[in-house]
A = this chain, B = another copy of it.
């Protein structure tokens, strides 16, 4: 009978703004950061769970405070009881009436719940001796349904609908798990296209991306139209017509601006336009999509919860669902998001990058392939080869494909040395001034 002792939290920040890594039209100067939590137990074998919220610098301490506010819900509880009903824990944390006022179901408090639930999922997978994707894929359809909070979904997705989708998805899952371990899962790369990179670097990185086996490259747009036209031309010329070129505006436009701007970029045959406007603007996104067809629309990394995803799909506002591992209430709510996408037959291309987002979200996409959608067609996980060295079991991309993780857990654990060196503001990386450039 092991007990949860409590949380250890770490405000970890990387000074990425010094090199323009991660710069886009909305986020010109991010310091990639992690509000990192270890759920500690008194188990003899040292069992613990690791989770985090990805942020981009300032305010990471607010995210830490929100995670700490959840410790009283877990501390002292029996490990078996908690891990045996993670659906119940999800509903308890999301439904706490006092904390709910701080969202509801959006922003700092909701992401904190996600970090804690993800840490518990990491713990569950470690204890089961399986990578998270396999743990999830081996659950029965009913067990998956029990993990989900269906509140506010009844007009579109009932538990019975979900059960039917999962039963259909479970056919052939052993073969797909084997195929996944053999062939991996398709990736695309955003590494070339940060807005702060100059044209030479863009061209060089595009060429490298093709050489590395990627079939889709994404670049940032939305700063100045003349820059976008020049940069898109460089990218398209470098990668050729056979490679996909996705564009990402990171929410900088309003509806009329998005329509005219994308119209000007359509000549480069974009694979999609990502976040053309506010992630809360379902009707605006639908209007944009209607006006720019056949250019496809992808949204999701800042979608607050399943209720917004539900409507984006109802309104036919998006062609691609981009789940994010840390924005919503953890694995549980992302299962709902995957089911919503499956219900509407819309492909999921997860958002990743940042700190640890590739590591964590790969498990969800792989679960989707093995046990729900049953396909990788039109599906790719974002990949940026950055900061993975800080993780104990880093995500691996070879020949443009994520390798299936084989290590037990959710791939969320960071090296102790990294937690120490990049702790803000006391870590060596911040006290010196020499790191990363």
Contact = CB atoms under 8 A, between A and B. Distances in A.
Contacts of A107: 102-103, 106-110, 304
Nearest to A283: B311
Contacts of A27: 97-98, 100-101
B283 A315 contact: yes
A428 interface: no
A108 B255 contact: no
A108 B112 CA distance: 11
A278 interface: yes
Interface stretch (A74-82, A152-160, A232-240): A152-160
A207 interface: no
Interface stretch (A53-61, A176-184, A334-342): A53-61
A244 B96 CA distance: 32
A49 interface: no
Contacts of A135: none
B59 A280 contact: no
A232 to B, nearest CB: 23
A190 interface: no
Contact of A55 (B102, B151, B154): B102
B108 A109 contact: yes
Interface stretch (A1-9, A63-71, A361-369, A410-418): A63-71
Contacts of A112: 62
Contacts of A20: none
Interface of A: 26-31, 55-59, 61-63, 65-66, 69, 96-112, 151-155, 251, 254-257, 277-284, 287, 302, 304-305, 307-308, 310-311, 314-315
10 contacts: A30-B97, A56-B97, A59-B69, A62-B66, A104-B278, A105-B278, A151-B278, A152-B284, A284-B307, A284-B311
